[in-house]
A and B are shown apart, each in its own frame.
Chain A
Amino acid sequence: MSTDPAPVPPSLEVSGLAYAYPDGHQALFGVDLTVGRGERVALLGPNGAGKTTLVLHLNGILEAGAGSVRVAGMPVDKRNMAEIRRRVGIVFQDPDDQLFMPTVREDVAFGPAAGGLRGAELEERVMEALKQVGMEEYAARPPHHLSFGQRRRVAVATVLAMRPEILVLDEPSSNLDPASRRELADILRSLDVTVLMVTHDLPYALELCGRAVILSEGVIAADDRTQDLLCDEPLMRAHRLELPFGFDPRSVTVNSG
């Protein structure tokens, strides 16, 4: 089926994606976005630009009105929904929404267990994912007894346990104190997985993602090196993106990518 000539299909391929909510409000007007395997891309955009709507298309929660989404060459449709949901790991903004099981261990086990994994293999997968985020000592704890930063890390582990093709993070740095923010950045850098990061936190995007795209009014308005985008003042202003006070993206040497 795939006509892609590349030997490894890109992790994510969105083409001409349009969507209108049932109430008639149109959120996406033809989005084109390709994320290669192993890339880390920041998805920037003002509130109401359609970022969340786009994210919910990536694992088929919302069905495309027009256009298509492919994950690792596989089209997102009803037939391969289970596989798509395993391959696209979405970390939602509020870890209290993401962590719904009574203990950390069971929560991390939820995804792989839903995929049919059992016993020792499941246990191994859980510990592996918790180790990746440095939370293996907290396996037996209930999620609501962890700090916010720890909960966010466990939330990342819950999707890592499914060995996703692409990790989609919705505002990963929100509500984190600077130390937790840095810890999460270290973890994300250490992972060998494609990352799409939805964020308002521009320094964080610059720190972690070599490439960034701006989603504005339902279309991709810009797609370039993160540093170049952040330095383009008229472009930033046009899409209601503002750098924090005193932050100059030119003054930073970036070694991400």
Chain B
Amino acid sequence: MGAGHAHKLYRHGHSPVHDLPPHCKLAAVFCFVVVVVSTPREAVWAFGLYALLIAGVTALARIPAGFLLKRLLIEVPFVAFALLMPFVVPGEQTHLLGLSVSVPGLWGAWNVLAKGTLGVAASVLLASTTELRELLLGLQRLKLPPLLVQIASFMIRYGDVITDEMRRMSIARRSRGFEASGIRHWGVLAKSAGALFIRSYERGERVHLAMVSRGYRGSMPVIDEVTASRTQWAYASALPLLALAVCLVGWTV
């Protein structure tokens, strides 16, 4: 069993941002990302302002900057791709630090880097101020197809159970002297994966049986209704609205 009693992404706390209803936050982050993505890449200053906005929300949520920056590391693989762009994109060449790079490539890299970082930062903020469970309620409230919400909620519930099963199978393999060391052993691993799939499938059937036994008829009953007041919506919309203002200025200037 895992030791952590809350999900690693979430940072427990009480702040105006934590207290906002989940569907308001989801909508706000979504709109913010859309606005950021539709900003012209030449308006470099606009991205600076967006970063300031994010920093403001972070301070309001009492999330330490170090925490946020560390979570941003997830972006690294995409950064690597962005850094390649100035060297591979054809076009007008210029010299930077003694290297010959292409101008459109540089703009492309900047575009991916700035927008990506802002989007990831906004999502990290959302994840660290909203519990997974609440996020699901929010998605449900935002009328995401109920089947998708159910699947996501079962993923959260059974992720640990299945990981545990996988770990037990691996221990059983090793206890009988098996070490996966090369391509010859892939067959064994593939069979284990198959067995795990069948076990999970059968568990799914048993869970379904237990659900039907308690009156499930195709849709999840609403147990927690999340509601938001007009003020809370106004509060949540501050971030995307400010960003929208910046974006509009960015297009006109």
Interface status of B212 (Cβ within 8 A of chain A): yes
Bitwise, A133-145 to B at CB < 8 A (1) or not (0) is 0000000011111
List the 9 shortest-distance A-B pairs measured between CB atoms, nearest first: A113-B221, A114-B215, A111-B214, A97-B206, A114-B221, A109-B223, A98-B210, A144-B160, A102-B133
User: How many chain B residues have a CB neighbour from A under 8 Å?
Assistant: 28
Stretch at the interface among B22-30, B66-74, B101-109, B150-158: B150-158
Interface status of B190 (Cβ within 8 A of chain A): no
Q: Tell me whether A111 and B215 are in contact in the complex, defined as CB-CB below 8 angstroms, given that A102-B133, A103-B133 are known contacts.
A: yes
| Complex-state Cα separation, A100 to B207, whole angstroms | 7
| B157 & A159 in contact (Cβ 8 Å cutoff) | no
- How distant is A113 from chain B, measured CB to nearest CB, in Å? 3
Interface status of A106 (Cβ within 8 A of chain B): yes
Of A90, A102, A158, the contact of B136 (CB 8 Å cutoff)? A102
Closest chain B residue to A147 by CB distance?
B1
Of A85, A86, A94, A102, the contact of B153 (CB 8 Å cutoff)? A102
| B207 & A61 in contact (Cβ 8 Å cutoff) | no
| Complex-state Cα separation, A201 to B153, whole angstroms | 35
Interface status of A154 (Cβ within 8 A of chain B): no
What chain A residues lie within 8 Å of B153 (beta carbons)?
Answer: 101-102
Interface status of A162 (Cβ within 8 A of chain B): yes
| A59 & B213 in contact (Cβ 8 Å cutoff) | yes
What chain B residues lie within 8 Å of A90 (beta carbons)?
Answer: 210, 213
Total CB contacts across the A-B interface at under 8 A? 79
What chain B residues lie within 8 Å of A97 (beta carbons)?
Answer: 203, 206-207, 209-210
What chain A residues lie within 8 Å of B158 (beta carbons)?
Answer: 96, 100
| B154 & A113 in contact (Cβ 8 Å cutoff) | no
Q: Tell me whether A106 and B217 are in contact in the complex, defined as CB-CB below 8 angstroms, given that A61-B209, A61-B212, A100-B157 are known contacts.
A: no
- How distant is A223 from chain B, measured CB to nearest CB, in Å? 26
| Complex-state Cα separation, A103 to B157, whole angstroms | 9
Q: Tell me whether A96 and B214 are in contact in the complex, defined as CB-CB below 8 angstroms, given that A102-B136, A103-B133, A113-B223 are known contacts.
A: no
Q: Tell me whether A94 and B1 are in contact in the complex, defined as CB-CB below 8 angstroms, given that A115-B215, A142-B157 are known contacts.
A: no
Closest chain A residue to B4 by CB distance?
A145
Interface status of A82 (Cβ within 8 A of chain B): yes
Chain B at the A interface: SS class: helix
| A85 & B213 in contact (Cβ 8 Å cutoff) | yes
| B215 & A85 in contact (Cβ 8 Å cutoff) | yes
Interface status of B88 (Cβ within 8 A of chain A): no
| A82 & B215 in contact (Cβ 8 Å cutoff) | yes
Cross-chain pairs A/B with CB under 8 angstroms, 17 sampled: A90-B213, A96-B158, A97-B206, A100-B158, A100-B210, A101-B157, A103-B133, A106-B224, A109-B221, A109-B223, A110-B214, A110-B221, A113-B221, A114-B216, A114-B217, A114-B221, A115-B215
Interface status of A243 (Cβ within 8 A of chain B): no
| B213 & A144 in contact (Cβ 8 Å cutoff) | no
Bitwise, A74-92 to B at CB < 8 A (1) or not (0) is 0000000010011010101
Interface status of A66 (Cβ within 8 A of chain B): no
Interface status of B5 (Cβ within 8 A of chain A): yes
Interface status of B222 (Cβ within 8 A of chain A): yes
Closest chain A residue to B221 by CB distance?
A113
Interface status of A33 (Cβ within 8 A of chain B): no
Interface status of B188 (Cβ within 8 A of chain A): no
What chain B residues lie within 8 Å of A100 (beta carbons)?
Answer: 154, 157-158, 207, 210-211
Bitwise, B136-168 to A at CB < 8 A (1) or not (0) is 100000000000000001101110110000000
Q: Which residues in chain B, 1-19, are within 8 Å of chain A measured between CB atoms? A: 1, 5
Closest chain B residue to A144 by CB distance?
B160
